[in-house]
Amino acid sequence: MSEYQTEEEQVEAIKRWWKENGTSVIAGLVIGLGGVFGWQAWGNYKDRIGAEAALAFNQLVAAVDRGDGASAAKQAELMRDNYDNSSYGVFAAMAEARVKLEAGDAATAISRLEWAVQRADNPALKQLVQLNLARIKLNEGDLDGAEELVGSEAGGFAGEFAVIRGDIALARGDKAAAAAAYTQAMTLEVSNRNLLQMKLDDLAANTP
């Protein structure tokens, strides 16, 4: 992102960037943040936080975009300290988690997302963080920890929660529970229906 002269331009730039790139913030998890979170909320956040936070987040996004992990981590730390009670702080933690995960530091990525879960005051944003955190914990073999994050959730992410519950069940070797969760997910909104169908097909092919 380039620099913008007015607060409104900065906020609009953030909105566009997150709409285009926010779905890959953590480990490539594809979730439509813009359509669920609702960008009209940015007006309220802008009034509360102001241009300073928008500019700081702009700089963080630029560091992540150019692959400067050290600068991104430092900027994210500053934002978490200065804006820990705002959505900017949550987004900063998510961006830092992505950087740490790509660097192979899953433990720090998990820590940053756990921090974000505690501070996300928007329900949809909190669910987004939980989903990404659950996926990382699942990949790290922490099935119990992942399962605690993906209970019976409603709302726009219900389908994604069901998919992860299926993945957890499959990792435990419970094919029946996995199939049930995937089948439930098929009735809901999911980001990758083709992949979900493949999981169901594989289960059917490998179940006596």
Segment 69-91, tens digit of pLDDT: 788 888 888 888 877 777 778 88
**Angle (CA) 135 137 143, round 5°:** 105
> Is pLDDT at 50 greater than 50 in this prediction?
yes
Count of CB atoms situated within 10 Å of the CB of 183 = 14
> Is pLDDT at 166 greater than 90 in this prediction?
yes
Model confidence at 55, in pLDDT bands (50, 70, 90)? Answer: confident
Instruction: Please check whether the domain covering 7-149 is classified as CATH 3.30.420.40.
Output: no
Kindly report the average pLDDT of the chain as a whole number: 75
Collapsing DSSP states into helix, strand and coil, what is residue 179?
Answer: helix
* Mean pLDDT, residues 145-173: 88
Which residue has better confidence, 19 or 149? Answer: 149
Spans of all domains in the chain: 7-149, 151-208
Of the candidates 179, 172, 181, 177, the one whose C-alpha atom is nearest the C-alpha of residue 203 is 179
Output the six-digit token pair for 174. 């419970």
Which residue has better confidence, 41 or 83? Answer: 83
Which residue has better confidence, 188 or 44? Answer: 188
Residue 42, Cα to own-chain centre: how many angstroms? 17
Provide the whole-model pTM.
0.71
Amino acid at 157: F
Least confident range of 93-102, 132-141, 180-189: 93-102
Length in residues, the chain: 208
Give pLDDT, residue 5: 43
Give pLDDT, residue 17: 42
Residue 74, Cα to own-chain centre: how many angstroms? 20
> Is pLDDT at 57 greater than 70 in this prediction?
yes
* Mean pLDDT, residues 161-165: 92
Give pLDDT, residue 177: 95
Collapsing DSSP states into helix, strand and coil, what is residue 53?
Answer: helix
